[in-house]
Amino acid sequence: MDQRTSVEPGLGEPPAHGRGALGRLGGWLLPQQRRLALYAALTVFVLALTALAWNATTGGADPQPPASAGAGTAQPPTSDPGDLRGTPGSDTGGGEEADARRPSGESALVANPLYDTGRLSPLPCPAPDLDIHDPDSVETFLNAMADCLDDTWQRQFDRAGIPFHPPRRVFWREPGRSPCRDYPSAAGAFYCRADTGIYIGVEDVVRKWNEADDSVVYASLIAHEYGHHVQGESGLLEYYHERRGQEADREDQNSWTRKSELQANCFAGAFLGSVQVSYPLTDADRSAVLTDAEATADRENGPEEERTHGTAENSRYWLDQGLTGQSPGTCNTWATENTALLE
């Protein structure tokens, strides 16, 4: 079963939760409540007329501009599990001017300016201790990694001259719904491009990863999903979905999907390699994360419809490419001539 995935938009906005307005029983008001409601309505009407008359006399105050979330501004985390975090504004690209600066078409895939930005900056990323049996600890660790990823990729996009907006973070403990799918899902983690959100179950991933206690496995997981966000912000994901959607044959569709997933593996490796000064990887850590890449690959001799993440050998290869090269340019799966590396 695939544990990592980039998800197509599907479902609409999540429905509102709750029982509705207080004071309602079966949709009708009790007699005494009707009288109270009538008095309240008359009072509101009189106050409204008074305010209207005052406003006409004074000319009214200047209206306040509507509040909006600034690009790149993350909302402070809350303590409630499953809350949305790092919520971007409604215009994730910053408007028409930003869209004009974002690569598009085939060049976004094979000749993206991000590929020419060099090695990722070795920014400090001191990872907190991780207790996989404590959901709070897992969530704290994931948020710390996400903060590092935000800073790292923001700097890289600045070099490329491409607008960048951090993803939303949804670290769930209870069932919920994203614009792409309900969760929990078959995947313990996924990226939803409909709302640019990274969704991870803080308890689900521990179970699905067989209670692996090496923190680098979970760092690689979130860095992989973040890699799909990097693809989206760089303009790459849009053209990829367009081209993949034009393929009628499932085998051809999956060949596109594998390139995307293997590139996300490589982006994850590039990040992990870049922060080794403050988040060092021992030989055991490196072995663990490469073994994890193999374990989350396609099953050997699995059916064609499941061949979406690459062979174990190739999944490991592209993660190692990132760890060693530490540059987006080493992750250009779209221009790789050796097709055997994309199986």
- Phi then psi for 253, rounded to 5 degrees? -60, -45
CA angle 256, 259, 262 (to 5 degrees): 145
| Whole-Å CA distances, 25 to 20, 51, 239 | 10, 33, 52
Q: Which residues contact 209 (CB under 8 A, 6 or more apart)?
A: 3, 188, 217, 218, 221, 292
CB 263 within 8 A of CB 322: no
Ranked by mean pLDDT, the top range of 87-91, 171-175, 302-306 is 171-175
CB 222 within 8 A of CB 198: yes
Alpha helices (H) in the chain, listed in sequence order? 31-58, 96-101, 106-110, 135-160, 204-208, 215-233, 236-246, 250-274, 283-295, 312-325
pLDDT value for 30: 31
Number of domains in the chain: 1
The answer to whether residue 177 is domain-embedded is: yes
pLDDT tens digits, one per residue of 121-159:
999 999 999 999 999 999 999 999 999 999 999 999 999
The answer to whether residue 84 is domain-embedded is: no
| Whole-Å CA distances, 298 to 252, 280, 341, 342 | 16, 29, 14, 12
How confident is the model over 84-106, as a mean pLDDT? 51
The answer to whether residue 264 is domain-embedded is: yes
How confident is the model over 10-26, as a mean pLDDT? 28
Rounded CA separation 109/295 (Å): 27
The answer to whether residue 91 is domain-embedded is: no
Q: Which residues contact 160 (CB under 8 A, 6 or more apart)?
A: 112, 113, 114, 116, 117, 234
The answer to whether residue 74 is domain-embedded is: no
The answer to whether residue 16 is domain-embedded is: no
Peptide bond into 167 cis (omega under 30): no
How confident is the model over 5-31, as a mean pLDDT? 31
Ranked by mean pLDDT, the top range of 25-29, 31-35, 53-57, 145-149 is 145-149
pLDDT tens digits, one per residue of 257-314:
999 999 999 999 999 999 999 999 999 999 999 999 999 999 988 898 899 999 999 9
Name the least confident of 57-71, 116-130, 237-251. 57-71
Which DSSP category does 79 fall into? S
The answer to whether residue 2 is domain-embedded is: no
The answer to whether residue 193 is domain-embedded is: yes
Domain membership of residue 163 as a residue range: 107-342
